[in-house]
Amino acid sequence: MQRHINTEGLINFRDLGGYPARNLEGQVCTVKPSMLYRSGHFNDLNAQAREQLARLGIGRVFDFRSEKERLKKPSLFPESHQYEIVELNLDPGSGSSFKKGLSEWRKDNQAYDDAAMEQVMCQINRSLVNDHADIYRVFFQHLLQIPPAPLVFHCASGKDRTGLAAALLLSALGVEREVILEDYLFTNACIDVEHQVARALEDFDEQYTASIDATALKAMYEVRPAYLQAAFDEIDRLGGMETFLDQHLQLREEDLKLLQNHYLKD
């Protein structure tokens, strides 16, 4: 199936449907198409993108961005369609948290390069697991309380905060880790990384651009196996995915069955 909706103005927007899964009864299933979408922000929507978005029938939008990010780049949804927006404030992985980290790094008079940024991105993913399970718990609580209907969850670029949300959701649906990594890496085919780097350099003032290598920005805007693996490693350290879903996200067996009934098909 065509997963990426390649419409100008929709950033890293794609359907999670079609992935193979195995439910709690051991039956081979697939994730229902046209139900679960992941994306970057919706501030660049043009008329074509709004029309495309409206046709999908999405009713709920889960926004993992911080309040500051939402104010800077408000979502420009089509006025012809009503959306229930759930704000899930999560700062790690945002531009503001990156700049704060960059300022701390500069105290040692070191420049960010590719290797340094890879370390930062791995740390962000570890932090999402260790420090922000409560946000993802709320995300799942909403999913359990609403009837199955098309929805989208997103952050700024749709790759880090959204990437872990997708990994956790697909895990809860019984999708294998190798397939989840495949979905995660698909971001590199959906984002124009060079364009994002150019825009970032315009946004940063001289105190930041003087201490950052262009390769570091590329490492920030793309995804790498090591980034998501860092999150998986933390989850495994805490007892594995099944334990993490149960103890940290409070998803019991009946909750997993409900999610699978909603979003899987035989």
State yes or no: pLDDT of 6 exceeds 90: no
Residue-wise DSSP of 5-55:
---TT--S-EE-TT-EEE-TT--EEEEPTTTEEEE--STT--HHHHHHHHH
Q: What distance in Å separates the CA atoms of residue 198 and residue 108, rounded to the nearest whole number?
A: 26
pLDDT for residue 235? 98
Asked if 234 and 130 count as a contact pair (C-beta separation under 8 A), the reply is: yes
State yes or no: pLDDT of 103 exceeds 70: no
Q: What is the mean pLDDT of residues 5-24?
A: 92
Q: What distance in Å separates the CA atoms of residue 214 and residue 207, rounded to the nearest whole number?
A: 15
Q: What distance in Å separates the CA atoms of residue 14 and residue 11, rounded to the nearest whole number?
A: 9
State yes or no: pLDDT of 100 exceeds 60: no
Q: What is the mean pLDDT of residues 146-171?
A: 96
pLDDT for residue 166? 98
pLDDT for residue 2? 57
Q: What distance in Å separates the CA atoms of residue 74 and residue 113, rounded to the nearest whole number?
A: 31
Q: What distance in Å separates the CA atoms of residue 95 and residue 115, rounded to the nearest whole number?
A: 19
State yes or no: pLDDT of 34 exceeds 60: yes
Amino acid found at 10: L
pTM of the model: 0.91
Q: What is the mean pLDDT of residues 167-190?
A: 97
Exposed / middle / buried, residue 177 (Cβ in 10 Å: 0-12, 13-18, 19+): middle
Residue written as token pair 């979502």: 75
pLDDT for residue 216? 83
Q: What distance in Å separates the CA atoms of residue 216 and residue 197, rounded to the nearest whole number?
A: 9
Give residue 167's pLDDT band: very low, low, confident or very high (50, 70, 90): very high
pLDDT for residue 113? 82
Domains belonging to the chain, first-starting first, are 14-265 (3.90.190.10)
Q: What is the mean pLDDT of residues 75-102?
A: 77
Of the ranges 52-61, 85-94, 180-189, 256-265, which one carries the lowest mean pLDDT score? 85-94
Q: What is the mean pLDDT of residues 223-246?
A: 98
pLDDT digits (tens, 9 = 90+) for 117-132: 899 899 999 999 999 9
Asked if 21 and 44 count as a contact pair (C-beta separation under 8 A), the reply is: no
